[in-house]
Amino acid sequence: MTLMNRSPYVSLLFKALTFIPRRRPADAAVFLSTHSFSAASGAPQSNLMADYLVSSCGFDPDEAAKASKLLGRIESRDRPDSVLGLFRSYGFDNTQVKKVISANPRWLLLDVEKTLAPKFRALQDLGFSCSDITHLVSSNSAVFNQQHQNVLSKIQFWQGILGSKDLLMKLCKRDRWFLGYSIEKRIQPNIQILRDFGITDQKLSKILRDRPLVIILNAETLKALISRVEGLGVARTSGMFVQTLIVLQCVSEKNFKAHLEFFKGFGWSEDDFLAAFRKAPGIVKFSLKSLQRKMEFLVNETGCTPSYLASRPDILRLSLEKRLIPRYRILTCLKSRGVHFVNLQMSAYMLYPEKTFLEKFVIRHKEFPELIELVSDAATSGPFPPAAAPPPALGFGEEKEHTKKEKQTTMTLMNRSPYVSLLFKALTFIPRRRPADAAVFLSTHSYSAASGAPQSNLMADYLVSSCGFDPDEAAKASKLLGRIESRHQPDSVLGLFRSYGFDNTQVKKVISANPRWLLLDVEKTLAPKFRSLQDLGFSCSDITQLVSSNSTAINQQRQNVLSKIQFWQGILGSKDLLLKLCKRNRWFLGYSIEKKIQPNIEILRDCGITDQKLSKILRDRPLVITLNAETLKALISRVEGLGVARTSGMFLYTLSVLHCVSEKNFKAHLEFFKGFGWSEDDFLAAFRKTPVIVAFSLKSLQRKMEFLVNEAGCAPSYLAQRPGILRMSLEKRLIPRYRILTCLKSRGVHFVNLQMSAYMSYPEKKFLEKFVIRYKEFPELIELYN
C-alpha cells in the first residue's frame, strides 16, 4: 500500500513551541532550556501569567489558567507588553488580540523585533494595510508558522492568480491551510491542467471561491474529474462546466447513481435526471433524506407532478423549511382569502428574491396581517398545521406536464425541525394573536423604495456609528428597516442590550442577525423577556450568551420558552450546561417537550439510563433525544444486538456513535477491516472497545492503516487488539509522534518495551517531557515536528 496525499498539519507541539528560527538548532536548545515546562519552576510564575492574561488580554480566569501552563517561567512583562503593543499598533482590537493569543499563547514570549515585526512589515511591503494584516493573522496562522520568504512568495503567487488581495484574504479565512500547499508540486501543475482544458484565470478564481479544494487534488484525480464532467454531457465551453466540476468534486459516482435511482422512484427517466442535473448540478449534493422530504411536500401537499420538477430542478435546491413551505403557505392563505393570481408558477414565486416576495405577497396585502402570524407560528412551532381542505393548486393545473393521467405517489411528510423563515427575520416581534397591531406595524414601517430610500441612508449611518457595522453591512441591513422617524427606539434597544452587559461585538452580532429589533418598543417586547430570564436565575452574562447564540429564546412566546427552560434545567441540573447546549444547537429550545422530548426520556429511563447519564447524552450527542420514539427504540435494540449490554459503561457511548452510522455503513467498515485480515469477531471486539472507529470515513481509516502497517510496521492483529490507536489524528498525532521516536532511535536512544499504544496515548504534556524536552541535545526534533 502507499500513503495517500495528506494536507499540511500543525502539531500540538508546534502550537506550544512555535517561532523557533528554523535551521538553527542552537537557538532551539536555548529556547527549551530557558523556558522550562517543569511544574516546580513554572507553577508560581503560572499564577502571575494567568493574572496578566486576564488583565491585559481579556481572558476569563479559566482560560487564563489553562493558557498560562504553556508559558513556563517568565522574568518580566517586557516581552508580553511588546507583543501586545505591536498588535495594537497595527489595529488589533481586544477581541482579535484575545483570539490570537488564545491560539498561540507562546507568542507572548517572542522577541518582537526578531520575529513578529519583520513579518508584519513584509506584509505591508506587499500592499497589505494594517486592517488587512489584522484579518489575515486572526484567521490564518500559516502566515507566521512558515518561513518568512516562503509565505511571501506564496502570497505574491496567489495575488497574481486571483487578481485580488481581498479574495486571497477570504480564501485564507475559509481554509487555514490555504497558504500551506506547495505551489511547485501541487498548485501549478493543477492550474496548468485546468488551463489546458480551456479554463481561464477568471473561471479559476470562481473555482477557488466556491470549492478551493479542487485546486489541491492529485493531478490524476483532477483529470479524471474533468473527464467525468464531460462524460455527463457538460461541455468545456458550457457556462455550467465549472459549477458542475465543483459539485462533482465532492460527490462520488456511487452517490451520483444513488440519486439517479432515487429520482427514478418518482418516475423520472435517466434522461430526465441527466437533463435536470445539467441545469442544476447542485441537486446531487443534497442528502437523499433531504430530497425525500422536499419531493414528499411538493408532490403530496402542493400537487406538483414529478415531471414538472424534472423540468424545473432549481426548485429542489431551495430550503424546505426556509423557502418552500413558508412561501407555499403564504400563497395558499392568500388564495383562500379570495386573492387571485394569473398564471403564477411555483418556479416563479419560489425563486423570487426575498425583498420581491415580501413586496408582492405580504406588504401589498396589509389587510391580511395574519400572514405574519402564520409565518411566526411556523418559525417557533415547526411545520404548519395541515389545511382544513386540500390546498388549491398554485398555477400548476395549466401546465402541459400536469396531466390527469400522471400517477401521484402516496407519501407522508417526515418530521421537520423548527425553522425561521426569511420573512420572520424581517418582520419579527409582531405581537402574536393581535392582527390589528400587525397591520399598524406594516402600515407605519413601509418597505417602499420611494419613502424608504432617504431614510435608508440615515439608518446605514446609524448602524455604522452606533452598532459597529462596516458601510457595506450597514447598507444591506438598512434596506430591511424601512422608514424611521427618530433615533429614540433604536437607542432604547441598544441601551437595553448594553445595560445587560452586551459588548460591542455581541451587539453587532445580534443586530446583524435581527436588524428589525431596532424598531421594537423595548418595554413591550424585549425588556419583559429579559426580566423573565432573570427571574429564572440567569445572570446578565448568561442572558448575553443565550441571546447572542440562540434567538429562539426571544423569538418564541414568552411563557413557552420559559417553561422549556425550567424543564431543561430540571433534567440537566445545570444552567451552564443548558447554555452550552443552546450555543451548540440553536434549535434546542424549539423541540416540543410533550410530543418529543418527554417520550424519549421515558424510553431511555426504561432502559435503566439515569438522569446523570441523560446529561451525558445531551452533552455528547444532543440530537439523540430529538429522534422519533420508534427510531430511538430501534437504535437501542441495535446497540444491544452488537453485544453491548445496557449495564455496560460503553452503552451510552455506543448509542451516541451508532445514532449517526447506518447499518450499511457499519457493514462497509466490517468489510474494510476484513480486507486487513480481521475476522468478524475481531471487528466486533474492537468496536465494543472503541465504537467510534465506525464513525471515521473509510478514506481516513485507509490512510491510517496504510501508515501504521506499511511505515510503522504494525501488524493488523496488533491494531485489532488496540483499536484506540485508530481514533487518533494521523496528521496531528500518529505521524509526528512516530517520526520523533524514529529520530531518537536513529540517534542511539533506546526504549525498553515501549509500545506504540502507550506513547501514542500519552497526554501532550507527558509526551513532550519524555521525548522532546528531555532531549535538548537534539533540537532538530522541533524542526522535524514543524
* Higher local confidence (pLDDT), 228 or 47: 228
Decide if 460 is inside a domain: no
314 shares a domain with 174: no
Average pLDDT, stretch 540-557? 77
Backbone φ/ψ region at 23: left (φ over 0), alpha (ψ -120 to 50), beta = left
The set of cell numbers assigned to 377 is 407560528
Decide if 615 is inside a domain: no
pLDDT score at 171 = 77
285 shares a domain with 137: no
Cβ atoms within 10 Å, residue 698: 14
| DSSP summary character for residue 573 | S
Share of the chain above pLDDT 90, in %: 19
C-alpha R_g of the chain: 29
181 shares a domain with 267: no
Q: What would the pLDDT profile of 167-186 be if each residue is shown by its tens digit?
A: 788 777 777 677 777 888 88
* Residue the block writes with cell 422608514: 483
388 shares a domain with 297: yes
Average pLDDT, stretch 74-80? 78
Average pLDDT, stretch 315-340? 89
H or E element at residue 263: helix 253-264
168 shares a domain with 304: no
Among 36-45, 72-81, 209-218, 770-779, top mean pLDDT goes to 770-779
CA dist 623 and 455 (Å) reads 44
Quick one: pLDDT band at residue 239, thresholds 50, 70, 90? confident
Average pLDDT, stretch 316-322? 91
173 shares a domain with 42: yes
Decide if 135 is inside a domain: yes
* AA identity, residue 102: S
* Higher local confidence (pLDDT), 105 or 43: 105
276 shares a domain with 177: no
pLDDT score at 402 = 39
Q: Which residues contact 719 (CB under 8 A, 6 or more apart)?
A: 676, 705, 708, 709, 725, 726
Domain count of the fold of the chain: 2
User: Across the chain, what does the average pLDDT equal?
Assistant: 77
pLDDT score at 393 = 38
Decide if 751 is inside a domain: no
Average pLDDT, stretch 292-298? 92
Quick one: pLDDT band at residue 501, thresholds 50, 70, 90? confident
* Domain of 180, in residue numbers: 12-185
Q: What would the pLDDT profile of 627-673 be if each residue is shown by its tens digit?
A: 888 889 999 999 999 999 888 888 888 998 998 899 999 999 999 99
Average pLDDT, stretch 137-150? 72
Among 51-55, 420-424, 448-452, top mean pLDDT goes to 51-55
Among 383, 417, 444, the domain-final residue is 444
pLDDT of residue 461 exceeding 90, the answer is no
257 shares a domain with 177: no
pLDDT of residue 326 exceeding 80, the answer is yes
Quick one: pLDDT band at residue 539, thresholds 50, 70, 90? confident
pLDDT of residue 258 exceeding 60, the answer is yes
pLDDT score at 718 = 93
* Dihedral over alpha carbons 44, 47, 48, 51 (to 10 degrees): -170
174 shares a domain with 306: no
318 shares a domain with 432: yes
Among 185, 210, 242, the domain-final residue is 185
Angle at 132 between CA 129 and CA 138, to 5 degrees: 140
> Among 177, 131, 134, 173, which residue's Cα sits nearest to residue 154?
177
pLDDT of residue 464 exceeding 60, the answer is yes
pLDDT score at 276 = 93
Average pLDDT, stretch 256-265? 93
Decide if 462 is inside a domain: no
Decide if 732 is inside a domain: no
Decide if 306 is inside a domain: yes
Q: What would the pLDDT profile of 397-423 be if each residue is shown by its tens digit?
A: 333 333 333 333 333 323 333 333 333
pLDDT score at 30 = 30
Average pLDDT, stretch 368-384? 56
* Higher local confidence (pLDDT), 716 or 390: 716
Among 420, 444, 468, the domain-final residue is 444
Lowest mean pLDDT among 264-273, 409-418, 588-597, 724-733: 409-418
pLDDT score at 380 = 44
pLDDT score at 639 = 93
DSSP H helices, 163-216, are: 165-174, 188-196, 201-210
59 shares a domain with 135: yes
Decide if 411 is inside a domain: yes
Quick one: pLDDT band at residue 134, thresholds 50, 70, 90? confident
pLDDT score at 717 = 92
pLDDT score at 201 = 75
pLDDT of residue 623 exceeding 50, the answer is yes
* Higher local confidence (pLDDT), 223 or 162: 223
Q: Which residues contact 99 (CB under 8 A, 6 or more apart)?
A: 138
CA atoms within 13 A on the CB side of 416: 26
Average pLDDT, stretch 241-260? 90
pLDDT score at 672 = 94
pLDDT score at 19 = 35
Lowest mean pLDDT among 448-452, 631-635, 770-774: 448-452
154 shares a domain with 257: no
The set of cell numbers assigned to 395 is 398555477
pLDDT score at 448 = 33
Average pLDDT, stretch 465-479? 85
CATH at residue 116:
1.25.70.10
Q: What is the reported pTM?
A: 0.40
The set of cell numbers assigned to 704 is 491510517
